[in-house]
Amino acid sequence: MTNREIAAVFDHVADLLEFKGANPFRVRAYRNGARKVGDYPEPLAVVSEDPNRQLTDIDGIGKDLAEKIEHLLTFSRLPMLEELQAEIPAGVMALLRVPGLGPKKAAALHKELQIDSLDRLQAACEAGEVQKLKGFGKKTEETILKGIELAAKADERTRWADADAIVADLKSHLAGVPGVRQLEAAGSYRRGKETVGDLDFLVDADEAAPIMDRLGEYPGVAETIVRGDTKMSVRLDTGMQVDLRVVPARSFGAALQYFTGSKEHNVEVRGRAKARGLRVNEWGVFRVDKDKAENGEDGGPLAGEYVAGESEADVYAALDLPCFPPELREARQEFRWAEQGELPRLIELADLRGDLHMHTTATDGKATLDEMIAAARQRGYEYIAITDHSQRVSMARGLDPERLRRQWAEIDRVNKQLDDLVVLKGIECDILERGGMDLPDDVLAEADWVVASVHYGQQQSREQITDRILGALEHPCVNVIAHPTGRLINRREAYAVDVEAMIAAAAEHGKLLEINANPMRLDLDDVHAAAAQRRGVPIVINSDAHSTAGLDVLRYGVLQARRAGLTAADVANTRPWAEFKELLGR
């Protein structure tokens, strides 16, 4: 099991205990444990197998949690969780997926109104029964109603980073089955989409049974949905469906192309094939045989003379098309680019030279300034910006001018001793609810780098929010808007900002916009980032790290940038320091 999966189990246990009204200390122990495990930079399986190390050496992991982790690593299940689940109806637990509805409120709804499903919850909200409960109210009821919609959706799609962890684990489980020549995860996962509906595995092998048997033995499988001669579908404990198809070598490239999609991209591909007297399907590219086509045998392997299919590149080449990077296969710009003979050379993780948004223990980060700097040097960065929160973010002990200046003095001191890394004196300055910046201009003027962001007043109207952000973009000291839409994938909708207006203002004032690489955020999204690029607005891909391990999320941001068709030249933090410096405008 991955750290993430173990963390999810502990979180689930905490939810169930809290729902039952268990001792708050016990709940907190699991909650903390989940966080520690989820944040731990190394697979716990590695720690557990190392004879010289103990799980209990990890801060926050006591004897009890360590035993449970060992059990999970060995058996991929936890009897305690199963007992708790048996006690509480599943429909009631579904309530917890509604944003803003914690275990306590869910328990109250169950106890007072006998609500045991999302449908009943929705009905009760619509009947105005929920707002009458103690501790609820009209506003809560409205939030719940909105959340139900989101929860239903969240049920279906998995964030890419979580899908990636599942894919990695499955791939290592499926590795080494005799007779398997190639194995790839296709579909939206391969296209790097921010959320994934299901996983589509393709296998190049002559015999299907051995790999299917192996999939059936995967500890995370909850049920086998179907198993045929060459196709199998299972559902995992996480709710995720996994489809697996076995194809012969001559069709592997064609199947990979077909099942990578997108559907819209494939429609376009088929159109191109038709114009050339060819047919493409998951078996290969075929020269159309009129008689057979009219006999209704289209789509099958008998559709005509086989032209290509072994590799994706062969399939595309047969249609005079370049082998599109999967991230571009959305039928947006890619065919136009191909016609012009020029696909963009998409940005890669290795192109990044710095990270311009991160937190320390001065506010809500878990690592000190020195630790963040050491971690940045270890990763070979040329420059970073330390951007802790400003005073308005009181929950994170945001910095007032005095504490901020003290941090900056410390950075000045450290910078003098560094010859391989430039540390910028930055701040993530809140854009206040009423508009305007959270710190005085003279303070902001002393910063090397100012990240502006909206944390409060996210429910405001489109006009209000947009005005606040445009105001920040006009401020001479602001460099970049961070997480520009504020959405949390599957959890919270974007605030109502007019993104077009924001991009236009950034272009006008020579400001940057961020792709926040946190896998929960990933805004700007692919479409918005492409729009910003078209307007010539430089994008910066930042980690927004709150720990040293948090620095490693940049690859998710790079994936989003690739889906937007961005090259290294479109992303500011690919520039060497001497060039990047020009952007600071100071």
Chain residues binding ligand DGT by CB under 6 A are: 187-188, 193, 196-198, 200, 258-259, 261-263, 266-267
Amino acid symbol at 289: D
Q: Least distance in Å: CB of 268 to Zn ion?
A: 39
**How would you classify residue 436: left for phi > 0, otherwise alpha for psi between -120 and 50, otherwise beta?**
left
CA distances 307 to 268, 302, 317, 416, 550, Å, are: 19, 12, 11, 64, 47
Total site size for Zn ion, rule CB under 5 A: 2
Cα 287 to Cα 293: distance, rounded to the nearest angstrom: 11
Cα 512 to Cα 254: distance, rounded to the nearest angstrom: 41
Give the CA radius of gyration of the chain. Answer: 26
Contact characters 525-554, Zn ion, x per CB under 5 A? -------------------x----------
Contact characters 413-432, Zn ion, x per CB under 5 A? ---------------x----
Q: What are phi and psi of 245, to 5 degrees?
A: -125, 140
Q: Least distance in Å: CB of 256 to Ca ion?
A: 13
Cα 125 to Cα 146: distance, rounded to the nearest angstrom: 10
Given a contact cutoff of 8 angstroms between Cβ atoms, the answer to whether 557 and 541 are in contact is: yes
Please, which residue, 269 or 373, has the CB nearer to ligand DGT?
Answer: 269
Q: Least distance in Å: CB of 392 to Zn ion?
A: 13
Q: Residue 259 binds which one of Zn ion, ligand DGT, Ca ion, none, with CB within 5 to 8 A depending on kind?
A: ligand DGT
Residues for the chain: how many in total? 586
Q: Least distance in Å: CB of 330 to ligand DGT?
A: 10
Helix H or strand E encompassing 158: strand 158-159
Q: Which residue is nearest to ligand DGT (CB)?
A: 261
Report how far Cα 422 is from the mean position of its chain's Cα atoms: 29
Q: Least distance in Å: CB of 197 to Ca ion?
A: 5
Please, which residue, 428 or 525, has the CB nearer to Zn ion?
Answer: 428
Task: Kindly state the tokens that stand for 247.
Answer: 């194809």
Please, which residue, 40 or 259, has the CB nearer to ligand DGT?
Answer: 259
Q: Least distance in Å: CB of 206 to Ca ion?
A: 23
Please, which residue, 68 or 159, has the CB nearer to ligand DGT?
Answer: 159
Please, which residue, 188 or 518, has the CB nearer to ligand DGT?
Answer: 188
Contact characters 428-467, Zn ion, x per CB under 5 A? x---------------------------------------
Within 76-117, residue ranges assigned H as helices are 79-87, 90-94, 103-113
Other C-beta atoms lying within 10 Å of the C-beta of residue 396:
18
Q: Least distance in Å: CB of 198 to Ca ion?
A: 4
Strand order in the sheet with 182-185: 182-185, 199-204, 241-247, 231-236, 221-227
User: Among candidates 519, 515, 503, 439, which has minimal Cα distance to 477?
Assistant: 439
Q: Least distance in Å: CB of 276 to ligand DGT?
A: 18
Q: Residue 544 binds which one of Ca ion, Zn ion, ligand DGT, none, with CB within 5 to 8 A depending on kind?
A: Zn ion
CA distances 351 to 333, 555, 571, Å, are: 23, 11, 9
Please, which residue, 147 or 261, has the CB nearer to Ca ion?
Answer: 261
Q: Residue 202 binds which one of Zn ion, Ca ion, ligand DGT, none, with CB within 5 to 8 A depending on kind?
A: none
CA distances 249 to 186, 210, 279, Å, are: 16, 16, 19
Q: Residue 179 binds which one of Ca ion, ligand DGT, Zn ion, none, with CB within 5 to 8 A depending on kind?
A: none
Q: Residue 169 binds which one of Ca ion, Zn ion, ligand DGT, none, with CB within 5 to 8 A depending on kind?
A: none
Q: Least distance in Å: CB of 422 to Zn ion?
A: 20
Q: Enumerate residues 547-586 that contact Zn ion by CB under 5 A.
A: none
Residues that bind Ca ion (CB under 5 A): 187, 198, 200, 243
Please, which residue, 200 or 544, has the CB nearer to Zn ion?
Answer: 544
Cα 240 to Cα 197: distance, rounded to the nearest angstrom: 8
SS3 245: strand
Given a contact cutoff of 8 angstroms between Cβ atoms, the answer to whether 225 and 234 are in contact is: yes
Q: Least distance in Å: CB of 116 to Zn ion?
A: 39
Q: Residue 336 binds which one of Ca ion, Zn ion, ligand DGT, none, with CB within 5 to 8 A depending on kind?
A: none
Please, which residue, 29 or 255, has the CB nearer to Ca ion?
Answer: 255
Cα 576 to Cα 586: distance, rounded to the nearest angstrom: 17
Please, which residue, 144 or 234, has the CB nearer to Ca ion?
Answer: 234
Please, which residue, 269 or 450, has the CB nearer to Zn ion?
Answer: 450
Please, which residue, 15 or 200, has the CB nearer to ligand DGT?
Answer: 200
**How would you classify residue 313: left for phi > 0, otherwise alpha for psi between -120 and 50, otherwise beta?**
alpha
Helix axes 499-509, 526-534, angle to 10 degrees: 40
Q: Residue 428 binds which one of Ca ion, ligand DGT, Zn ion, none, with CB within 5 to 8 A depending on kind?
A: Zn ion
Q: Least distance in Å: CB of 284 to Ca ion?
A: 20
Q: What are phi and psi of 519, to 5 degrees?
A: -65, -15
Residues that bind Zn ion (CB under 5 A): 428, 544
